[in-house]
């Protein structure tokens, strides 16, 4: 039996390269078959660039501690995630009244969906693995259905052999080159696809454009106007580092979700005598910044009411006082120039500082928590650090 399974408000974003086993009630024969052949099923899918997902065994591989504590810095290191059954996804059915009708099945995302999902829905293709009338054993129907799914998902991928779907292939019997061709498009094909999508550059201008037209020159934008764009920039290195840590997609996110409870507490912020910054309740991680960025951060931390960017010159002396404590042996003349730049309402320096402050926190934990600690604010309004000040500890 083949059917469409509509799931609503999933707690993660599913991946197109995952084949997931689901069932509404425990089927002993199917589960025994999967458990006895799990390694073989996983290898078979992996060599073709796909992942076989069996929830009851999913948590046995553990979760990377760096990933865990980036996404949930408040997690208990010794805690174990609650296991989930193969009926977990069926809790999110768009029509839960049909749950008991769902047989043991393999579900997957497909481009060949005729139906259109409703808002908030995800549509999966599904095939039953218990069609016993046509196929006498679980092994027969399970193997056949898995081959059919992989073949459909593989459509359009060049293969060097007609027997690539033979279920008896072993890891050792496939050469490295065969694995590479089976699992991915070639590099040249990917490059060609990207070239086709690349927009053509405009290589001509009109006469009016050459003359500059009748448009009047626009006044320069203030730092406040540019805040939203400039203060959210991250360096390529930090973006790459964060990408490794953030878990947004696929059923692996479920393991993380089991660690994360509905309550996501904010950590205290501890400022030491020598101005080191720590988050004690998030693994006591240190938040590291360059002196100027730290001085701007401490300035805003001192002012919970916030600071309007056009009023920055009013805070020049206070910012210089903080900066001098962070750089007691610095050249005073150059330090004054630095602070002058940082308090210019039309300059770039203040937004660069805000960007680096944001970066210092999102390197350590996810942004939805980190945004309580860095400088935020709407255009024209005071920019501030929203962290409740009763969580800020200044050591004396």
Tens digits of pLDDT across the chain (396 residues): 888 899 987 766 777 788 989 999 999 989 999 999 999 998 888 888 888 888 888 766 666 677 777 777 777 666 666 667 888 888 889 888 888 889 999 998 887 777 777 877 888 999 888 876 565 688 888 888 888 888 887 764 434 333 434 444 444 434 444 444 444 444 444 544 554 455 544 444 454 554 455 555 566 677 777 777 776 677 777 777 666 665 545 555 555 555 554 456 889 999 999 999 999 999 899 999 999 999 999 999 999 999 999 999 999 999 999 999 999 888 999 999 999 999 998 888 999 999 999 999 999 988 878 889 999 998 888 999 999 999 999 998
Domain ranges of the chain: 2-187, 223-394
132: Cβ–Cβ under 8 A, 6 or more apart, which residues?
Answer: 141
Q: How many CA atoms lie within 13 A of 134 on its CB side?
A: 9
Q: How far apart are CA 252 and CA 52, in angstroms?
A: 12
Q: How far apart are CA 272 and CA 275, in angstroms?
A: 5
Residue identified by tokens 């196929």 is: 135
Instruction: Specify whether the CB–CB gap between 373 and 297 falls below 8 A.
Output: no
CB atoms under 10 Å from CB of 110, counted, come to 15
Of 342, 247, 260, the residue nearest 294 (C-alpha):
342
Q: How far apart are CA 101 and CA 24, in angstroms?
A: 8
Give ∠ CA 340-346-348 in degrees, rounded to 5.
Answer: 75
302: Cβ–Cβ under 8 A, 6 or more apart, which residues?
Answer: 318
Helix residue spans in 59-137 (DSSP H)? 65-71
Q: How far apart are CA 396 and CA 382, in angstroms?
A: 29
Alpha-carbon distance values, 201 to 204, 289, 336 (Å): 9, 40, 44
């Amino acid at each position: 039996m083949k059917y469409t399974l509509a799931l609503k408000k999933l707690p993660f974003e599913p991946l197109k390269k995952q084949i997931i086993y689901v069932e509404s009630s425990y089927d002993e024969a199917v589960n025994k078959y999967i458990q006895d052949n799990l390694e073989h099923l996983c290898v078979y899918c992996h060599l073709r660039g796909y992942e076989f997902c069996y929830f009851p065994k999913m948590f046995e591989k553990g979760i990377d501690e760096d990933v865990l504590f980036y996404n949930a810095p408040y997690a208990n290191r010794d805690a174990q995630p609650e296991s989930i059954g193969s009926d977990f996804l069926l809790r999110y059915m768009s029509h839960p009244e049909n749950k008991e009708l769902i047989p043991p099945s393999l579900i997957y995302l497909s481009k060949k969906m005729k139906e259109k999902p409703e808002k908030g829905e995800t549509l999966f293709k599904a095939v039953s693995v218990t069609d016993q009338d046509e196929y006498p054993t679980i092994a027969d129907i399970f193997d056949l259905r898995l081959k059919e799914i992989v073949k459909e998902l593989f459509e359009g991928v060049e293969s060097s052999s007609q027997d690539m779907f033979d279920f008896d292939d072993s890891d050792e019997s496939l050469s490295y080159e065969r694995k590479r061709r089976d699992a991915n498009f070639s590099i040249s094909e990917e490059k060609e696809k990207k070239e086709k999508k690349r927009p053509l550059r405009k290589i001509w201008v009109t006469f009016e454009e050459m003359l500059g037209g009748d448009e009047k020159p626009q006044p320069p934008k203030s730092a406040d106007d540019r805040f939203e764009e400039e203060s959210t920039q991250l360096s390529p290195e930090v973006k790459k580092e964060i990408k490794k840590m953030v878990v947004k997609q696929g059923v692996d996110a479920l393991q993380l979700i089991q660690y994360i409870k509905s309550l996501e507490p904010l950590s205290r912020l501890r400022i030491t005598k020598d101005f080191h910054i720590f988050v004690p309740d998030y693994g006591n991680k240190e938040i590291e910044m360059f002196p100027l960025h730290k001085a701007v951060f401490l300035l805003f931390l001192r002012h919970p009411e916030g600071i309007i960017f056009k009023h920055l010159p009013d805070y020049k002396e206070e910012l210089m006082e903080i900066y001098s404590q962070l750089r007691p042996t610095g050249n005073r003349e150059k330090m004054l120039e630095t602070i002058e730049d940082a308090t210019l309402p039309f300059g770039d320096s203040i937004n660069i500082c805000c960007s680096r402050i944001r970066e210092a926190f999102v390197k350590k934990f996810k942004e939805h928590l980190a945004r309580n600690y860095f400088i935020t604010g709407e255009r024209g309004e005071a920019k501030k650090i929203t962290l409740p000040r009763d969580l800020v500890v200044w050591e004396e």
